[in-house]
Amino acid sequence: MTIGIMGGRSVADGGEVTAAMGRPRRAGGARRTAANATAEAMANATANAVNATAAATVNATVNAVNASAATGDAKPTRWVVVTSINAPTSDMRTMCGVAAKDPALGMVVVADTKTPTDWSAEGCDFLSVEAQKKMGSKLAAALPYKSYARKNLGYLYAISKGAEMIYETDDDNLSDFTKVFTPERVQDEVCSARLVEDKDHAAQNVYAYFGRPDIWPRGFPLNEINNTGGNVLMEKAVQKHYSPIKSLLVNGDPDTDAIFRLTRGEAIGKVQLDGDVPPVALDHGVICPFNSQAVLWSKEAFFLMLIPATTPMRVCDIWRGYFSQRLLWDMGGRLLFDQADVVQVRTAHDYLEDFEGELELYADAGRMVKALLEWKPKGDNMADRFVDLCRTLQDGKFWTETKYCEAWVEDLRTMGYEFPKVDAGGELVARLGAETCPAVAQLGFEEHVRTLQEKLGEKAPRYDNSTSASTDDENSAPASPRKHRGHH
Output 14 or 91, whichever has higher pLDDT: 91
What pLDDT sits at residue 173?
A: 75
DSSP three-state, residue 164: coil
Alpha-carbon distance of 411 to 420, in angstroms, equals 16
What pLDDT sits at residue 185?
A: 75
- What sections of 334-401 are H helices per DSSP? 351-357, 359-374, 382-395
Number of Cβ atoms within 10 Å of the Cβ of 384: 15
What pLDDT sits at residue 43?
A: 44
Across 443-460, average pLDDT: 40
What pLDDT sits at residue 192?
A: 54
- Model pLDDT for residues 36-45, shown as the tens digit of each residue: 444 444 445 4
What pLDDT sits at residue 175?
A: 79
- Model pLDDT for residues 271-319, shown as the tens digit of each residue: 888 877 778 888 888 899 999 989 999 999 999 999 999 999 999 999 9
What pLDDT sits at residue 280?
A: 84
What pLDDT sits at residue 91?
A: 85
Share of the chain above pLDDT 70, in %: 64
Alpha-carbon distance of 287 to 230, in angstroms, equals 16
Phi and psi (nearest 5°) for 41?
-65, -45
Contacts of 397 (CB under 8 A, 6+ apart): none
Given a cut of 50, whether residue 26 has pLDDT beyond it is: no
Q: Sign of dihedral through CA atoms 333, 335, 339, 341? A: positive
CB 109 within 8 A of CB 126: yes
Contacts of 299 (CB under 8 A, 6+ apart): 163, 164, 165, 244
- Model pLDDT for residues 168-220, shown as the tens digit of each residue: 998 877 778 877 887 777 765 555 545 666 667 788 888 888 888 888 999 99
- Model pLDDT for residues 352-373, shown as the tens digit of each residue: 999 999 999 999 999 999 999 9
Output 215 or 459, whichever has higher pLDDT: 215
Phi and psi (nearest 5°) for 109?
-110, 125
What pLDDT sits at residue 190?
A: 56
Alpha-carbon distance of 75 to 161, in angstroms, equals 8
Q: HSE on the CB side for 166, CA within 13 Å? A: 30
Phi and psi (nearest 5°) for 182?
-75, 160
Alpha-carbon distance of 200 to 54, in angstroms, equals 67
Output 445 or 263, whichever has higher pLDDT: 263
Output 125 or 56, whichever has higher pLDDT: 125
- Model pLDDT for residues 402-423, shown as the tens digit of each residue: 999 999 999 999 999 999 999 8
Alpha-carbon distance values, 331 to 192, 279, 298, 316, 337 (Å)? 18, 20, 13, 23, 18
What pLDDT sits at residue 119?
A: 96
Given a cut of 90, whether residue 254 has pLDDT beyond it is: no
Least confident segment among 22-26, 180-184, 287-291, 339-343: 22-26
C-alpha closest to that of 221 among 362, 397, 334: 362
Amino acid at the residue 78: R
Q: What is the 3-state secondary structure (H, E, C) of 172-200?
A: CEEECHHHHCCCCCCCCEEEECEEEECCC
Alpha-carbon distance of 50 to 47, in angstroms, equals 5
In angstroms and rounded to an integer, the radius of gyration of the C-alpha atoms of the chain is: 29
Given a cut of 90, whether residue 116 has pLDDT beyond it is: yes
- For 215-260, the DSSP string reads --BTT--GGGGGGTTTT-B--SS-EEEE-SEEEEEEEES--B-HHH
Q: Any idea how long the chain is?
A: 488
* Most trustworthy range by pLDDT among 25-34, 221-230, 452-461: 221-230
CB 290 within 8 A of CB 334: no
Output 261 or 462, whichever has higher pLDDT: 261
